[in-house]
Structure 1
Amino acid sequence: MTLIKQSLKNIWDVRFFLYKQPHRLLFEHVPKCGGTSVVTYLRQQYPGFQTFSMDNRAPLESVELFRKLPEEKRFQYRFLYGHQAHLIKDFVHPATKKFTILRDPIDRMVSHYYYVLRRPTHYLHQAVIEQQLDLKDYITLEISKELRNNYVHRFTQLEEGQMLELGDAAVDMAFQVLTQEYAYVGLLEQLEQDLAVAKKHFNFISAFKPVLANATAGRIKVEELDTVTLERVQELNRLDILLYQRIKTYRQRSFQY
């Protein structure tokens, strides 16, 4: 360990001596659910040498890399985060708690489209520009698994055909994962309140200060969608909408922090 790294480690050791250590945490960063702002906050709670970050451009490669690490090395990480971090949950320290943030699925789809439209480096940008896709076409064409029932797919790893065949049973499976395996499921719509809850629940040292990060500029509101586009988004994300509604109801009745 270099002198600089050792010095940084000593600073964090003192900080943890003065304050309670935050719990071990895995954060599943669902695209366009406020994850960039949340990660910025969460990274402040843990030293860099105890943090494992997924490569969001190639998350499956990060999954493979992490799984191949010896247990001693894997268990050194106290904070793990990124797109598809969910896929390494069985390889982290057993005391690691799981946390994620969801968003109204229709609002997420609108934000996703306008984000891609205005971000040339996004992997879907070229397809949107070259094919001159509007929001309805963007959702309809099968160009990414992020655009159809992504919540259910993400937390069950079921493929689209399997999800459609299982229908509501696939929603049940995703709901079971989120309510049994995750310590807390926040909502973007009440992010500040939920991160205040998370601070207490996960023993974070500092409070969340709202910061607008990675926000989508120039997008329309859900209520401005034309009827045809709205119905198409609802049709192709029916399972996610059901799951989101169930999570909202469950939070009201069951999350006690």
Structure 2
Amino acid sequence: MNYKQEKTLFFLHIPKAAGTTLNDIITRQYKSESVFQTNPVNIRESKNKLIKMSESDKENFKVIKGHMEFGWHEFIPQEFTYITMLRDPVERVISLYYYILKNPRHYLYNIVTENRMSLRDLLSSRISAQLSNGQTRILSGREELVQKPLAVFEECPAEWLDSAKQNLDKYFVTFGLTEKFDESLILFKQILGWKIPFYTSKNVNKHRLFKSEFSVQDIILIEEYNRLDIELYKYAKKLFEEQIYRQQSAIKTDLRRFRQFNQVYRVYAKFSNYSRSAKNKVKSIIKDCV
């Protein structure tokens, strides 16, 4: 079944799980007028905008994507399915911390930088639920992904993990893992009928520390605040590996070809802002293969 044509696709963009890169790929797969993109700064406004649209306008959307919690399918009349990208919870929290440090527009930027908060300080302060089981919260559909007052921190109940797992099983045609990004793209390509999803990595912080560079105490604290996400990731990883195994022959062939073409695409894309010929070459590669 070609879900790209027959069902509206929801892409849940989980912060710091390679969603920006995937978001760019999705944009190139569909006509702009058939895509509804949420406003990352004002998610509630995007939700209200979608709710207030006419049924006919909603039915024109092939894709509804961006930062949102599971459950927005309730606002549209047509059939739907979901995809997302999940990430190792410890790596995701570390990445989110460094994203906050470099992004003055983030609602936590001022309080973190003015108080020179370390990652351990930020977790212990309990001023943001984004760093505590954030993936479970989004996939459970039990809580709006809306910026709340800094003083508000709600624990993530254990039953939300069950809801997240059930939603992943029932409503997601497939999903990817950040740590297996290329394999995830090929899976999306095969299941959703996409053309070759070339990419260059987006929104990557080259000046952050990695998991192996943090102290044991820091890692233990991150894990303590993300126990449900760790369980969710283990569950999702098992499902992902089963999907890959069932299609291993086709995926292996497509993956080899994709990586060869994408390496060429990256080289030309790197210089496309400076060279007209390189820019034209990038367009040619996209036109021929995407």
TM-score (norm 1): 0.85
Asked if 2 retains the 8 angstrom alpha-carbon contact of 1:67 and 1:88, the reply is: no
Matched, 1:173 2:169: no
Task: Give the match for residue 54 of structure 1.
Answer: 38
Give the match's secondary structure for 1:81. Answer: strand
Q: 2: CA distance between counterparts of 1:41 and 1:250?
A: 23
Q: 2: CA distance between counterparts of 1:254 and 1:200?
A: 11
Task: Give the match for residue 101 of structure 1.
Answer: 85
Give the match's secondary structure for 2:103. Answer: coil
Q: 1: CA distance between counterparts of 2:203 and 2:134?
A: 20
Matched, 1:144 2:128: yes
Q: 1: CA distance between counterparts of 2:183 and 2:66?
A: 22
TM-score (norm 2): 0.75
Give the alignment of 1:120-131 within 5 angstroms.
120-131=104-115
Task: Give the match for residue 224 of structure 1.
Answer: 213
Comparing 47-56 with 84-93, which one deviates more in the overlay?
A: 84-93
- Report Cα offsets for 1:186-221 as digits up to 9, x if no partner: 1011111111111111111x3122311001221111
- Report Cα offsets for 1:121-149 as digits up to 9, x if no partner: 22211111112110111122222221111
Asked if 1 retains the 8 angstrom alpha-carbon contact of 2:9 and 2:81, the reply is: yes
Asked if 1 retains the 8 angstrom alpha-carbon contact of 2:69 and 2:138, the reply is: no
Unaligned 5+ segments in structure 2 are 144-152, 248-290
- Report Cα offsets for 1:4-49 as digits up to 9, x if no partner: xxxxxxxxxxxxxxxx958531111001011111011111111111
Task: Give the match for residue 271 of structure 2.
Answer: none
After superposition, the CA RMSD in angstroms is 2.0
Task: Give the match for residue 57 of structure 2.
Answer: 73
Cα deviation, residue 87, structure 1:
3.8
1:80 is matched by which residue type in structure 2? I
Identity of aligned pairs, percent? Answer: 27
Q: 1:141 to 1:87 in 2, by over 3 A?
A: farther
Q: 1: CA distance between counterparts of 2:222 and 2:85?
A: 21
Task: Give the match for residue 43 of structure 1.
Answer: 27
Asked if 2 retains the 8 angstrom alpha-carbon contact of 1:101 and 1:186, the reply is: yes
Asked if 1 retains the 8 angstrom alpha-carbon contact of 2:120 and 2:221, the reply is: yes
Asked if 2 retains the 8 angstrom alpha-carbon contact of 1:115 and 1:217, the reply is: no
Cα deviation, residue 64, structure 1:
1.4
Give the match's secondary structure for 1:44. Answer: helix
Q: 1: CA distance between counterparts of 2:69 and 2:141?
A: 13
Q: 1: CA distance between counterparts of 2:33 and 2:154?
A: 41
Task: Give the match for residue 16 of structure 1.
Answer: none
Asked if 2 retains the 8 angstrom alpha-carbon contact of 1:114 and 1:216, the reply is: yes
- Report Cα offsets for 1:80-129 as digits up to 9, x if no partner: 10000634222235332211001000000011111111122222111111
Q: 2: CA distance between counterparts of 1:226 and 1:190?
A: 25
Give the match's secondary structure for 2:175. Answer: strand
Matched, 1:198 2:188: yes
Comparing 59-68 with 93-102, which one deviates more in the overlay?
A: 93-102
Matched, 1:34 2:18: yes
Cα deviation, residue 252, structure 1:
2.4
Unaligned 5+ segments in structure 1 are 1-19
Task: Give the match for residue 189 of structure 1.
Answer: 179
Asked if 2 retains the 8 angstrom alpha-carbon contact of 1:51 and 1:79, the reply is: yes
**Bigger relative contact order, structure 1 or 2 (CA pairs below 8 A, ≥6 apart):** 1
Asked if 2 retains the 8 angstrom alpha-carbon contact of 1:22 and 1:45, the reply is: no
Number of residue-to-residue matches in the alignment: 234
